[in-house]
Structure 1
Amino acid sequence: MLSPYVRDLALSFISLEAGQQIYLPEMRPWRKQIFTLLSGLTPRSG
């Protein structure tokens, strides 16, 4: 099985790409994990 972090990232990416609206109160428990993963994928300029 996929780790919870990979699952959360995949679900958030699929939702954003499909243009679906995310119901934020339901996503609140996963919000910190999703933002942590997305910030790790964002290139940092130095």
Structure 2
Amino acid sequence: MLSEHACYSNYICEEWFLHRVERLITLCQCLDSVCLCLHAAFCNN
């Protein structure tokens, strides 16, 4: 589990990598104020 900030970065990455939006959405699930993100570092890179 990563911080909310990391999760938010994942969604920002969606706009930069539109061709991978579908994959990013699958990797990142945000429920209410709880964010569960996978491979957040991938988006930061």
Answer whether TM exceeds 0.5 for this pair.
Answer: no
Q: Larger % of helix: which?
A: 1
Q: Larger % of strand: which?
A: 2
Q: TM-score, normalised by structure 2?
A: 0.38
Q: TM-score, normalised by structure 1?
A: 0.38
